[in-house]
Amino acid sequence: MSTNEFGMKAWGVCTVVLAIAALAVVVLGGAYIGSNGEFNSGAPQWIAGMYTALKDCGAIVAGILGFSGLAWSNFYKASTGIGK
């Protein structure tokens, strides 16, 4: 495996892991939100903090993950010669 191929695979795995982590935070945070729209008293603070940060900066996170995935697919296609 060349360095280029290793980097390409590591980049793809990191992008997928970060997307899954962001989705997990949103799902976990949603599980602790009460009917009044606020976190329950038993909610872990790290979930509440990460959920609030993602809620406030969700468009930025989605843009970064989307661009990373798009750039990765373009790089993969160019590196492997698919579509020529």
Rounded CA gap, 33 and 29, in Å?
Answer: 7
Q: Residues near 75 by Cβ (< 8 Å), separated by ≥ 6?
A: 8, 11
Domain of 35? 3-80
Q: What is the pTM of this model?
A: 0.76
Q: What percent of the chain has pLDDT over 70?
A: 98
Number of neighbouring beta carbons within 10 Å of residue 49? 13
Return the pLDDT at 7: 85
Reduced to 3 states (helix: H, G, I; strand: E, B; else coil), residue 39 is: strand
How many domains is the chain partitioned into structurally? Answer: 1
* Whether the predicted pLDDT of 1 surpasses 80: no
Can you tell me the distance from the alpha carbon of 71 to that of 40, in angstroms, rounded to the nearest whole number? 39
